[in-house]
Amino acid sequence: MKKLLYAFAALAALLAWTDAALADTYPSKPVHIIVPFPAGGAIDIIVRTSAQQLSKELGQPMLIENRPGASGNIGADAVAKSAADGYTLLAGTSATHGANPALYTKLAYDARRDFVPVAHIAGVPNVLVVTPASGINTLADLVQQARAKPGKLSYGSAGSGTSLHLAGELFRSAAGVDVLHVPYKGAAPATTDLLGGQITMMFNTVPVALPLIRSGKLKALAVTSPKRHFALPDVPTFTELGYPSVASATWVGLFAPAGTPREVVAKVAQALERALREKTVVDTLRLQGAEPQFMDSAAFGHYVDGEITRWGGVVRAAGIKLD
């Protein structure tokens, strides 16, 4: 029995030494970051901006590979099945590690079990918008109209199960109103119909909605962030207006395959923290309407666990299924 215990102790020591040695030399070659969404979108820009500085901090190229499809599930599954050595990372989001575990009953990966959270990068909140022609000037006006005309007001989204749809479900539930969801194949056609008066309102990400708000074509009623957004300082939060549960953001952070050495995870997280302090990175992210929000592995893991639980409840309450 003692020999067996000694063998286990020796194996544990060897593994610990191996992990530490790997961390000392990591990274010794380029690191691949899988972005599970198309190039050019907000998530892609945030990751590329951060990765450029992260490359300088770690001394190796960060190679960005876009693998879009199935709301981020294709790219996430690819990383889940990759070697746990720190050389393949996932740019996970509020979709892959928030709503998708509840939206898809046949998900090929387990968002909690198959990944190690490395660090949170940034988040972009949503904003509820209407047109000036709607005659709705405040959130109170909207709620009053919705209650007076159950089922008559409508909100558009980028599609069923998207963050814009789920933000609408949060609002509908919190305000106790009966509003019709109209899903579109993307935020752009939904915005077109909003401007044309075919739908009453919609939630959109701040960066996308901002030009139309500034031009006066759309009116912002409230933002879903905990505090007022720096680009919309005059627009109140839902919390200020009495709806604290209407809180949502499109966020992104780095994940590694389960089993990646803790020392490697910590090394990437520490380098990313330094990268997110760089003024050029901060300025570029803010141009996208995003605020750098670093969380280390432990804090990010706690946050992700809460997101999966929270959005799972919203999805189940709304009866949304995508497969």
Section 65-69 average pLDDT: 94
Residue pair 243/174 in contact by the 8 Å Cβ criterion: yes
Average pLDDT, the chain: 92
Task: Tell me the fold of 2-123+250-318.
Answer: D-Maltodextrin-Binding Protein; domain 2 (3.40.190)
Q: Which token pair is 313?
A: 């409840």
Peptide bond into 27 cis (omega under 30): yes
pLDDT at residue 51 tops 70: yes
Report yes or no on whether pTM surpasses 0.75. yes
What's the pLDDT at 209? 93
202 vs 58: CA distance, rounded Å:
41
pLDDT in tens, 263-297: 999 999 999 999 999 999 999 999 888 989 999 99
What's the pLDDT at 40? 84
pLDDT in tens, 160-216: 999 999 999 999 999 999 999 999 988 899 999 999 999 999 999 998 899 999 999
Taking the mean position of all CA atoms in its chain, how far away is CA 276? 17
What's the pLDDT at 5? 57
What's the pLDDT at 186? 86
pLDDT at residue 10 tops 60: no
- Higher confidence at residue 256 or residue 17? 256
pLDDT in tens, 105-114: 889 999 999 9
Q: CA Rg, the chain, in Å?
A: 22
Task: Tell me the fold of 125-223.
Answer: D-Maltodextrin-Binding Protein; domain 2 (3.40.190)
310 vs 140: CA distance, rounded Å:
26
Section 145-171 average pLDDT: 94
What's the pLDDT at 321? 87
Of 66-70, 143-147, 287-291, the range with the highest mean pLDDT is: 143-147
* Domain range summary for the chain, segments of one domain joined by +: 2-123+250-318, 125-223
What's the pLDDT at 288? 82
Residue pair 47/35 in contact by the 8 Å Cβ criterion: yes
